[in-house]
Structure formats: structure tokens, C-alpha cells
Amino acid sequence: MDYIVSAPGKAILHGEHAVVHGKAALAVSLNLRTYLRLKASTTGKVYLNLPNIDAFLCWDLAELKQLTPYTCGKKKEVKHLDAELVRRLREFVGVTNENLDTCNMATLAFLYIYLSLFGSEELPSLTVSVWSELPTGAGLGSSAAYSVCLAAALLCASGAIPTPLWDPTAGWCQEDLELINSWAFQGEMIIHGNPSGVDNAVGTWGGMLRFLAGKIIPLGRVPLLRILLTNTKIPRSTKVLVAGVKDRINKFPSIITPVLDSVDAISCTCEKVLSEMTCEPITGEHYNILEELIDINQHHLNVMGVGHPALDTLCRVTLTRGLHSKLTGAGGGGCGITLLRPGNDETLAQERSFGVQVLLCHRLSSPIS
């Protein structure tokens, strides 16, 4: 029996990092997706094929059965990580205290969801293969798309939700999507450490949404914005960057807390302008405001300590052409977004995402210079 699922990546327009601390963020799904195929087998083994990170793993069911959590087989929404299971899994993969690397994060996210959803007596032999159009570790929510695919496929295989492929009328109801989202959030907790949930929400529901303290508000009325996505190709870890912002908040609470409040106001102001742009003639003033918000947010992200010289170069180079850019996602490298005005010269491949047309910058052959 085969299950094939996919989930989109995302771009955060405003609110990254602040959203971890209860402020509003605006995020939009991308037409770049992660694909997962789960194939049930009778081999008595579990295979995890992750070609994007050059990881190909295999375990005997017998060794996995010893790891199953006591309260396994739960199919309902979950809020908190099972710390004991995480500890056992870290010991199993051989990383007790230090930070997880790319392969370990992906492995633990898979094993955690797999072992939690199947009781020890019913652990199935299976082969899971994941392939993505998203660059990993670049701020486009690759970890969330990976976690959403894992959650959806394993919930289908465990019978907790229907398998739409066979019965398109079955589809996934809101309750199914909430279950997928909550298990994807578990995967994000393993990879991000302290995720807000915005990335897995966009990966689950798609479109464009406002995310505030766990509350998801889909934004149905948004104008067609054209966004240029540029990958600086500077590698970085979201978990490390998120922890760094927390440290800075703890070190300078009276300085950084107002910055977070300002980012919250930027997200709300941007949403208000986007709404105005759907019900009145779009003017240059609308774009002037959107561009100013992008500049202010980028400066705030530098104050939070998540900027990078390559991102500064992107902002400087695009500004020489009258365009305004900011980092998207965790920053520290990775991707930036640039707002294009109608009529900007389009010499790039076009991707259309919900309400926001994302123009993909040709991959930079080397970090931006």
C-alpha cells in the first residue's frame, strides 16, 4: 500500500521571530513543495530515504519496538513533546546532549512521529522517501513542509485520518487538518526547539494567513503582490537563531520587547494596507507604505541579531534599483524577499502562489556578493 503526500514551503512577509514571542506574523505558501512517499512492506524493516540531505537509513522493527513510548498509539491532537521519548531517541541515534545535525533532526522527527502513532505491537514495516523543491535551511519552511508530510502520511497509514488519494470525496476535514498540523508541530519542536507553529500552519492550510499565538486566520482578500525570492545560500540553523533571539531578549528585555511590539504593529499595518488594496484603486502610496514596512522590519531583525552581511548586500543591491527587501524565515543567511512594483522588469521564472506571486530569483551560484 502506497501513500503519497506533499506540502508547500512558505515565505514570511512580516513577523518572523516576533511570532515565537506571541506577536502577529503574515505568511504565504509557496509553489515549492516537499513530496513524501510511504510504502508499506513485509520486510520487517523501516527505511528512511532522504536524498536532499544525503541520508539513507534503515532499522529492524525489533530494535524500534524497544523504543515505543508507554502512551503510544495516540491519534488525538497533541500539544507537548514526550520528553522521555525524545531522550530515548537521542540516545538511540547517539546524540545525548549536543545539538542535532541535519540528519539527526530529520531522523528524530520521523522516528518520534512514527513511534508515537503506532503501538509497539503494530509497528509496520515501511519505506519512507522524501524529496523537496525547497532548499533546506534557507528560511522557506523546509522543516515544516517535511514535518507536515511526515504527519499526514503516518496518520493515513495508522488509519487515524482517511487517505484522499483513494477516495477524493473523503478529503481531509478540518479536524483531520488540525491533527496533521498538531503532529507536524511535534516535528517542528524537534527541529526548531521552540517553534511558533506558523510554518506548519502554512504547510497544512496553504494560502496566506495571519498567525498570532497559535491562532490561525486565513487571509482571503489580498491583492496580487509580486515578490522576488533570493537565496543568499548562506547556511544557518533556525534552532540556533531562535535561541539567540531568546538570549538577547533575556539580556536586554527593555530594549528588545518594544522591538517585538513594533514588529507586531508592522504585521497589523501591512495586513490593513493589503486589505485596502483589495477594495480601492491601488496607488503608489500603498507600495510606499509596504516598502517602508519592509525596511523597518529588516532593521528590527538586525537589532534582534538575525541579520547577515549577505542579506545586507541583497537589501543594498535591490535598493539601488528602487526595490525594498528583507530576510524571510530565521535569517542569519538563507533567503530574502523583495517587493516588486507592477511593471518591474520580469526577467525571472514566475511562480504564482496564493494572492502573492512569487518570482524566483535564479539560484545564486555563490553567496551574493
Ligand X SMILES: Nc1ncnc2c1ncn2[C@@H]1O[C@H](COP(=O)(O)OP(=O)(O)O)[C@@H](O)[C@H]1O
Closest CB to ligand X among residues 72, 330:
330
| Binding span for ligand X by CB under 6 A among 18-26, 59-67, 102-110, 174-182 | 102-110
Residue 238 interacts with Mg ion (CB under 5 A): yes or no: yes
Residue 17 interacts with ligand PMV (CB under 6 A): yes or no: yes
- C-beta of 146: minimal distance to ligand X in Å? 4
- Residue of 19, 53, 189, 227 interacting with ligand PMV (CB under 6 A): 19
- Residue of 6, 49, 102, 127 interacting with ligand X (CB under 6 A): 102
Contact 269, 27 (CB under 8 A): no
Sign of CA dihedral 234, 10, 305, 227: positive
| Binding span for ligand X by CB under 6 A among 21-29, 50-58, 161-169, 317-325 | 50-58
Report the distance separating Cα 202 and Cα 330, nearest Å: 16
| Binding span for ligand PMV by CB under 6 A among 17-25, 177-185, 276-284, 345-353 | 17-25
Residue 308 interacts with ligand X (CB under 6 A): yes or no: no
Cell reading at 152: 499526514
Residue found under cell 534557507 = 138
Contact set for Mg ion, span 110-149 (CB under 5 A): 143
Cell reading at 281: 484603486
Residues listed for the chain? 369
Contact 238, 137 (CB under 8 A): yes
Mind giving me the DSSP string for 198-262? Answer: HHHHHHHH-SEEEEETTEEEE------EEEEEEE------HHHHHHHHHHHHHHSHHHHHHHHHH
Closest CB to Mg ion among residues 145, 260:
145
Report the distance separating Cα 200 and Cα 107, nearest Å: 18
If contact means CB under 5 to 8 A according to the sort of partner, which of ligand PMV, ligand X, Mg ion, none does residue 263 touch?
Answer: none
* DSSP annotation of 9: E
Closest CB to ligand X among residues 144, 266:
144
C-alpha 282 chain-centroid distance: 31
Contact 344, 226 (CB under 8 A): yes
Contact set for ligand X, span 143-182 (CB under 6 A): 143, 146
How far CA 46 is from CA of 41, 120, 123, 126, 162, in Å, comes to: 9, 14, 9, 5, 22
- Beta-strand (E) ranges in the chain? 2-14, 25-41, 45-50, 55-60, 125-132, 208-212, 215-218, 225-231, 324-327, 335-340, 349-352, 356-360
Residue 232 interacts with ligand X (CB under 6 A): yes or no: no
- C-beta of 366: minimal distance to ligand PMV in Å? 21
Residue 232 interacts with Mg ion (CB under 5 A): yes or no: no
Choosing from 196, 199, 267, 325, the catalytic residue is 199
Q: Does 143 qualify as catalytic in the annotation?
A: yes
Closest CB to ligand PMV among residues 199, 264:
199
Nearest to 50 by CA among 150, 152, 130: 130
Axis-axis angle for helices 253-279, 284-303 (nearest 10)? 160
Q: Does 365 qualify as catalytic in the annotation?
A: no
- C-beta of 131: minimal distance to ligand PMV in Å? 18
Residue 192 interacts with ligand PMV (CB under 6 A): yes or no: yes
- C-beta of 28: minimal distance to ligand PMV in Å? 13
Contact footprint for ligand PMV (CB under 6 A): 16-17, 19-20, 139-141, 143, 192, 195-196, 198-199, 238, 242, 329-330
Residues forming the site for ligand X (CB under 6 A): 34, 50, 52-53, 102, 105-106, 130, 132, 136-143, 146, 191-192, 237-238, 329-330
Catalogue the active-site residues: 143, 199
Residues that bind Mg ion (CB under 5 A): 143, 238
